[in-house]
Structure 1
Amino acid sequence: MIEAECDRRTILKPVVCGSGLALLFSAGAAAAQNTAPSSGGVVGQVFDTIQPVTEAGVHGFFQLLNNQPIAFILLSLALGTLIGKFSFKTISLGSTAGTLLVGVLLSMIAEAAYGITYSIPGILSSFMLLLFMYALGLKVGPQFFSGLRKGGLAFLVIGFVVWSLNWVICYFGANLIGLAPGYATGLISGSYTITAILGVGQDALANGAYVPPDGTSVEQVGANMAAAYAISYVLSTVLTILLIRYLPRIFGYDAVAEAKRAEEDFSGGATDPVPGAPGALTMGMTSVGVRAFVVIQKDFIGRTLSQLADDFPAVPILRVVRGGKILDMTDDPTLQANDLVTVRADVEDLMGKEIKLIGPESDDPLARNVPIEVADVHVGAHKISGKSLAELGAQLSGGVTVQAVFRAGNELPLGPKTDIHFGDVLRLNGPNVAIQQAAKKLGGIAVLFTMKTEVLYLALAMLVGYLVGVITVTISGIPFAFGTSAGVIMAGVGVSYLRSRNPNFGGPVHEGARSFLQDFGLNAFVAVLSANVGPKVISALGGDTILWLALIGIAGALIPPLVAFWIGIKVFGLNAIISDGAATGGRNSTPSLNAIMEESHSSVAAVPYPVSYAFTTVLALIGGYFSMILS
């Protein structure tokens, strides 16, 4: 009876349903009473009632992926990432294109061979995409506004070139071949990988702005749009990823070298990452060293630490070890013979005569093992404003050195005469206790390297960006919106931009966590997308129409960014990676952006991306609407 009540076809479905659970337990208890305590008696009876997860064989495998979409996503991610690592003559798909291909192939096989149609809720893919966009915004925020100042007009022109060429190729290509109504709009939507264009096309049908010719129904036009979209979408996505990835190489540029030049250009010559940026709180190369000595010289014995700090300001004492114990530095201890002292100073000073006055060097691990931290401190004390670094020596004692100074997100030249203003950010390195004391004197809080990520700020910023993106204004039947993806990436840009001014803002974000959100978010989005697109590709197959859809879709996807890239480097003189990023934004291809970042080992291509992306999103919706009306 239990088997009759339960659906065998549902994977991992409980063996019993409803009140059958009590029946199973009561039956189990009765069986236990009537069975001799032989090996595996009761256990064997219980496990005899467990039904198979799914039927055996290949059909069962695809059925499993249908009933358990999480398994489909994880399998696509694993196999796609593995395939993306393989390269042929230095050319590889990358993890994003690999995931898309695996997902589409799995969903197409399931549909064609077994009649299983995969359909994963779009909310999952949308959320994953938003995680990617926010993480990306955090990465490029400080460079975004300098990018606007340096090449805003060029980015808009590149975006316009991509959009206009795509519209001309798809619309006139469909008309030249004589394709039925709806195909042109579907080609534009698929080749541009903007699903919303299908929506405005359907709007034109629903509100009567376009009336199908006699003998053609509204449903048929809608089906034509969906078929053209599915065919061109898959081909365009994969091929655009490859094109964008290798555009610099096609034109003879080294992507990694170009990215480094672009980073230097957009950083204004700064050598340290701005506060909140990846790698900000790392020590890097320094001429400052830490050494330990045994106190035997009379000039040091009987002197307090404060007295020695006045006599030898260039060689501060970080730690005092006596009898195998570390003394409390806040008590201003007096040095005794055979104490171990740890000093930190420039190598030149460590080799000077002052050091030789202390005594022989020690390798005692307790004295030498002094952790050196790096922290950003926002200057919040007005009495500090206007003083030079040389004058701030008293506030930066205890082995603390200034690694970099930032004002309004820009790094300042560092030297003894560098003046400090209220609101500046000082990057300090030294022992944690000394950094905390210095931060207190500077009127700020020491922001140290952390392994944590602040979820509160992430959720609030993404919420604000999402709500801004969904605001829609309808003009003449065409809905205009900034878009949730653009809204969320700008939220990330805003958070990182404000953090570069004040590192206390936005909470700590560990670079490893940010990088994971970026990579996993995009690839999970692509995996879900591939599951839903595959069945539509199958339904569009047949006749020579599919060949024309493929050719026009590929041309509409690849020719525009190729021409726009050339205009960027030749007409506007843009850096190859920056031009590539602008063309990618104009093409609205987020997976391609990830591909060029992988190829160039840099995220600088994302600087122009939001500008051309937002601009062409609006143009693409207008163009999609009119492509339907003009059909």
Structure 2
Amino acid sequence: MINAKTDRRVILKRAICGAGLPLILSASAAAAQDADTASGGVIGQVFDTIKPVTEAGVHGFFQLLDNQPIAFILLSLALGTLIGKFSFKTISLGSTAGTLLVGVLLSMTAQAAYDITYSIPSILSSFMLLLFMYALGLKVGPQFFSGLRKGGLAFLVIGFTVWILNWVICFFGASMAGLAPGYATGLMSGSYTITAILGVGQDALSSGAYVPPDGTSVEQVGANMAAAYAISYVLSTVLTILLIRYLPRMFGYDAIAEAKQAEEDFSGGAKDPVPGAPGALTMGMTSVGVRAFAVSHKDFIGRTLSQLAEDFPAVPILRIVRDGTILDMTDNPAVQENDIVTVRADVEDLMGKEIKLIGPESSNPLARNVPIEVADVHVGSHKVSGKSLADFGAHLSGGVTVQALFRAGTELPLGPKTDVRFGDVLRLNGPDVAIQQAAKQLGGTAILFTMKTEVLYLALAMLLGYLVGIISVTISGIPFAFGTSAGVIMAGVGVSYLRSRNPSFGGPVNEGARSFLQDFGLNAFVAVLSANVGPKVISALGGDTILWLALIGIAGALIPPLVAFWVGIKIFGLNAIISDGAAAGGRNSTPSLNAIMEESRSSVAAVPYPVSYAFTTVLALIGGYFSMILS
């Protein structure tokens, strides 16, 4: 059937052709019809997508989330972040726990009410988690090795405490409750949030290392593991996030104050961030100022820049403005009367006799608006090696001053006799052109603040860490591997550690981009995870078993890190935030680590995390295998 719109076109086409107009006009009309039909098809596709939602109401909404997983992830992120901001008596879920809670509720509602099972490919969540781990490694890298030297044994003991208590609670708790085979291993996997424990438990079944009792099939034992995993995973993840977040407060510590103290301890008292670290290329407080003066004194008129720099080294000239034009400083121009010169020096020098010799102060915007940059320069010239800062006047002309000096990633105190050696990193501030010239004389490249992030180095470093993490060695049926998460976070640690020695290593990494990868990567990982776990929770509901699974799972998740935290602060005398970070690593709970970093407003809790994380991952796999055999 031809609709009214099409019918009018046919009539118009016949009228045009009948009037003897060129055939090209009828062809144009046909093309217009095709274009309109195509656009109508696009619009129709949009309405075809929306129509089921509007017709089916809430059912259609949940079906849309199933058909469009990206919409599910974004909705969980938005609502979860919004819920995480609400607080009750200073207690809040945070964005990560909020996202997990929203995602699980959405997936459980879809399963229970409309029989819709969400399933998002795990590769997406895995990749997002790796982005988080790499970004986190970039931030904590310079502090990681100093953390190992200061508390390596304590971190291992904390991790072991978490693991052994979790194993005892889950294994003997399931035995005392009379739970069927498989539940203990599933409880360990879920309460520890290590899915790989299910894998080693399944290996014990398939290899014949564990033979189910009469009347119980291998499939039933596997289902028991999955049910215990699903119930304990959701509960333990949310509650562990809250526990780790507020552990310092529960023991009477101020998380923010403790984090600041830990940062000072691990920095060795340094005040400036190491090269490559967040906030490294910021000016901060300085006694150096910029002022402009109109030249009127005879001692300045007719003198060249080089002559003035030699006579007045404490007050370098940055810019000369003549008749509304900025002169080229590289030509070493001579100063004329009524020129406006811009000088940069310490406040005391700006108030001295030399300034009064120039002339009256000027408010000329061309002269006063001189952008001052901060840059890290790796000393690559042996000619300047061994010179003191007092001897660096010729190399730091044009208003460049030394803000900080680093050697092997450690900040050194600044003084006239402080020597500069090959391989050191000087943090300079001053006009861009002058900094670039100073960098050439120092044999290095000026690394300035940038809004860019080098994707090439990011991808290569993550690839290397990932490949190291997947290397697995099987001993007595138990696979041992470093793990991709641990591998990638160590890749980030390595890059940032080397950058602290040479800021040109690894390409630029903007702190805003790094922070975004850290926050978005983890929360997107949690959103995908919640979609896939929710349906399993529904299938595990029923009978008294669920009550035991919930109780044992919560106990196995919360008691171990609580005791381990106490061990860290009381037995080893660790800083509360450092002990908390080690407990989070021992619990293998990355979302919890993010929670304590949010609470303390610092990333220092991540320093011990990789150590206890890697150690307990191996122990958890061994424990999971034997829990299946001994059940």
Q: Which residue of 2 aligns with 1:154?
A: 154
The answer on 1:484 being equivalent to 2:484 is yes
The answer on 1:34 being equivalent to 2:31 is no
Q: Which residue of 1 aligns with 2:439?
A: 439
Classify 1:28/1:464 alpha carbon distance in 2 versus 1 (closer, same or farther; 3 Å). Answer: farther
Unaligned runs of 5+ in 2: 14-31
Question: Moved runs in structure 1, 4+ residues, more than 3 A?
Answer: 26-33, 40-50
Classify 1:35/1:174 alpha carbon distance in 2 versus 1 (closer, same or farther; 3 Å). Answer: farther
CA distance in 2, matches of 1:441, 1:384: 8
Classify 1:541/1:48 alpha carbon distance in 2 versus 1 (closer, same or farther; 3 Å). Answer: closer
Partner letter of residue 314 of structure 2?
Answer: A
Q: Which residue of 2 aligns with 1:10?
A: none
Partner letter of residue 569 of structure 1?
Answer: I
CA distance in 1, matches of 2:324, 2:206: 84
Shift of residue 52 of structure 1? 4.7
1:87-102 aligned at under 5 Å gives the runs 87-102=87-102
Q: Which residue of 2 aligns with 1:290?
A: 290
The answer on 1:384 being equivalent to 2:384 is yes
Shift of residue 82 of structure 1? 0.1
1:284-323 aligned at under 5 Å gives the runs 284-323=284-323
Q: Which residue of 2 aligns with 1:165?
A: 165
Shift of residue 51 of structure 1? 2.9
Partner letter of residue 177 of structure 1?
Answer: A
Classify 1:618/1:336 alpha carbon distance in 2 versus 1 (closer, same or farther; 3 Å). Answer: same
Q: Which residue of 1 aligns with 2:574?
A: 574
Q: Which residue of 2 aligns with 1:274?
A: 274
Shift of residue 393 of structure 1? 1.2
User: What secondary structure sits across from 1:227 in the alignment?
Assistant: helix
User: What secondary structure sits across from 2:614 in the alignment?
Assistant: helix
1:187-202 aligned at under 5 Å gives the runs 187-202=187-202
CA distance in 1, matches of 2:6, 2:136: 61
1:454-533 aligned at under 5 Å gives the runs 454-533=454-533
User: What secondary structure sits across from 1:382 in the alignment?
Assistant: coil
CA distance in 1, matches of 2:600, 2:69: 33
Q: Which residue of 2 aligns with 1:142?
A: 142
User: What secondary structure sits across from 1:336 in the alignment?
Assistant: coil
1:80-91 aligned at under 5 Å gives the runs 80-91=80-91
Partner letter of residue 210 of structure 2?
Answer: Y
> Structure 1, residues 261-315: CA drift from partner, whole Å, max 9, x if none?
0000000000000000000000000000000000000000010010000000000
Partner letter of residue 454 of structure 2?
Answer: E
CA distance in 2, matches of 1:613, 1:152: 12
Classify 1:48/1:603 alpha carbon distance in 2 versus 1 (closer, same or farther; 3 Å). Answer: closer
Q: Which residue of 1 aligns with 2:408?
A: 408
> Structure 1, residues 446-481: CA drift from partner, whole Å, max 9, x if none?
000000000000000000000000000000000000
CA distance in 2, matches of 1:216, 1:29: 69
Higher helix share goes to which structure? 2
CA distance in 1, matches of 2:455, 2:583: 33
CA distance in 2, matches of 1:421, 1:191: 52
Q: Which residue of 1 aligns with 2:626?
A: 626
Q: Which residue of 1 aligns with 2:339?
A: 339
CA distance in 1, matches of 2:370, 2:207: 73
Partner letter of residue 587 of structure 2?
Answer: R
Partner letter of residue 478 of structure 1?
Answer: I
CA distance in 2, matches of 1:621, 1:173: 19
Q: Percent identity?
A: 86
What's the TM-score, normalizing by structure 1? 0.94
Classify 1:265/1:225 alpha carbon distance in 2 versus 1 (closer, same or farther; 3 Å). Answer: same
Bigger shift: residues 582-591 or 45-54: 45-54
Shift of residue 31 of structure 1? 5.5
Classify 1:205/1:448 alpha carbon distance in 2 versus 1 (closer, same or farther; 3 Å). Answer: same
CA distance in 2, matches of 1:191, 1:260: 31
Classify 1:52/1:136 alpha carbon distance in 2 versus 1 (closer, same or farther; 3 Å). Answer: closer
Classify 1:395/1:65 alpha carbon distance in 2 versus 1 (closer, same or farther; 3 Å). Answer: same
CA distance in 2, matches of 1:414, 1:85: 43
CA distance in 1, matches of 2:563, 2:416: 51
The answer on 1:221 being equivalent to 2:197 is no
CA distance in 2, matches of 1:27, 1:394: 85
User: What secondary structure sits across from 1:361 in the alignment?
Assistant: coil
Match of 2:48 among 47, 51, 57: 51
CA distance in 2, matches of 1:295, 1:206: 90
Partner letter of residue 539 of structure 2?
Answer: S
Q: Which residue of 1 aligns with 2:565?
A: 565
1:541-556 aligned at under 5 Å gives the runs 541-556=541-556
CA distance in 2, matches of 1:416, 1:464: 43
Classify 1:298/1:462 alpha carbon distance in 2 versus 1 (closer, same or farther; 3 Å). Answer: same
User: What secondary structure sits across from 1:321 in the alignment?
Assistant: strand
1:108-119 aligned at under 5 Å gives the runs 108-119=108-119
Shift of residue 165 of structure 1? 0.1
Shift of residue 573 of structure 1? 0.2
Q: Which residue of 2 aligns with 1:17?
A: none
Q: Which residue of 1 aligns with 2:125?
A: 125
CA distance in 2, matches of 1:361, 1:45: 69
Q: Which residue of 1 aligns with 2:250?
A: 250
Classify 1:45/1:501 alpha carbon distance in 2 versus 1 (closer, same or farther; 3 Å). Answer: closer
Shift of residue 34 of structure 1? 2.8
CA distance in 2, matches of 1:589, 1:275: 29
Q: Which residue of 2 aligns with 1:419?
A: 419
Classify 1:258/1:32 alpha carbon distance in 2 versus 1 (closer, same or farther; 3 Å). Answer: farther
> Structure 1, residues 80-103: CA drift from partner, whole Å, max 9, x if none?
000000000000000000000000
CA distance in 1, matches of 2:585, 2:9: 71
CA distance in 1, matches of 2:287, 2:49: 66
CA distance in 1, matches of 2:315, 2:44: 77
User: What secondary structure sits across from 1:384 in the alignment?
Assistant: coil
Partner letter of residue 268 of structure 2?
Answer: G
1:357-372 aligned at under 5 Å gives the runs 357-372=357-372
Q: Which residue of 2 aligns with 1:8?
A: none
CA distance in 1, matches of 2:384, 2:460: 34
Shift of residue 33 of structure 1? 3.2
Classify 1:569/1:346 alpha carbon distance in 2 versus 1 (closer, same or farther; 3 Å). Answer: same
User: What secondary structure sits across from 1:447 in the alignment?
Assistant: strand
Q: Number of aligned pairs?
A: 605
Partner letter of residue 332 of structure 1?
Answer: N
CA distance in 2, matches of 1:32, 1:505: 69
CA distance in 1, matches of 2:61, 2:12: 39
CA distance in 2, matches of 1:544, 1:94: 32
Shift of residue 48 of structure 1? 6.8
Shift of residue 160 of structure 1? 0.1
RMSD: 1.8
Q: Which residue of 2 aligns with 1:614?
A: 614
Classify 1:52/1:70 alpha carbon distance in 2 versus 1 (closer, same or farther; 3 Å). Answer: closer
Shift of residue 383 of structure 1? 1.1
Shift of residue 27 of structure 1? 10
Q: Which residue of 2 aligns with 1:18?
A: none
CA distance in 1, matches of 2:258, 2:149: 20
Shift of residue 346 of structure 1? 0.2
Classify 1:48/1:182 alpha carbon distance in 2 versus 1 (closer, same or farther; 3 Å). Answer: closer
Shift of residue 392 of structure 1? 1.3
Shift of residue 135 of structure 1? 0.1
CA distance in 1, matches of 2:392, 2:96: 51
Unaligned runs of 5+ in 1: 2-25
Q: Which residue of 1 aligns with 2:27?
A: none
The answer on 1:240 being equivalent to 2:216 is no
Q: Which residue of 1 aligns with 2:18?
A: none
Q: Which residue of 2 aligns with 1:599?
A: 599
User: What secondary structure sits across from 1:357 in the alignment?
Assistant: helix
Q: Which residue of 2 aligns with 1:6?
A: none
Classify 1:358/1:263 alpha carbon distance in 2 versus 1 (closer, same or farther; 3 Å). Answer: same
